[in-house]
Amino acid sequence: MHFPLCFQVHIQSWRRGVPEPCGILYAPRGKSDLQDHEKSHDKCTKDVCSVNESAVSERIVLGYVQEGGYDYSIGRGAGLGFISLAALIRAATTPGCNSLRDGFSRVLMKNPKSTCRRIAHLSLVTCPNA
């Protein structure tokens, strides 16, 4: 049986932000991580958006955004990207990261020119011929 090493995903921004090419998709560290980002959706606060060496190194990178932009038909940012199977397995086995057990539909997205991480919704793109 053949399993793909990367999965193509559709990305929708949760409230603010537009996915940009080369954006990074992070696994949230838990429900509290997502709740902190939901509270600060109106403006980017220092504690939520601070990017220091230790905070970045302890987050699990799931994948990257390939293309994105503002989708006028749904009224929010949308794009395509990919996530790695190895990163999914690592996120599932990390004790502090329980996003896979909670349905794994929301992740954190950081655009290359920004220091803010925004909540994004992921859905798997399926191939009709597979």
Asked if the structure places residue 90 within a domain, the reply is yes
Average pLDDT over residues 21-41: 76
Predicted confidence (pLDDT) per residue in 77-103, tens digit: 999 999 998 888 888 787 766 555 556
In degrees, rounded to 5, the angle at the alpha carbon of residue 35 between the alpha carbons of residues 121 and 98 is 70
Give the E-state strand segments of 1-130 in sequence order. Answer: 6-13, 24-27, 60-71, 76-84, 106-110, 117-124
Q: What is the pLDDT of residue 78?
A: 96
What is the number of structural domains in the chain? 1
Domain with 29 in it: 19-102
Nearest to 19, CA basis, from 55, 60, 71, 57: 71
DSSP state of 57: H
Asked if the structure places residue 48 within a domain, the reply is yes
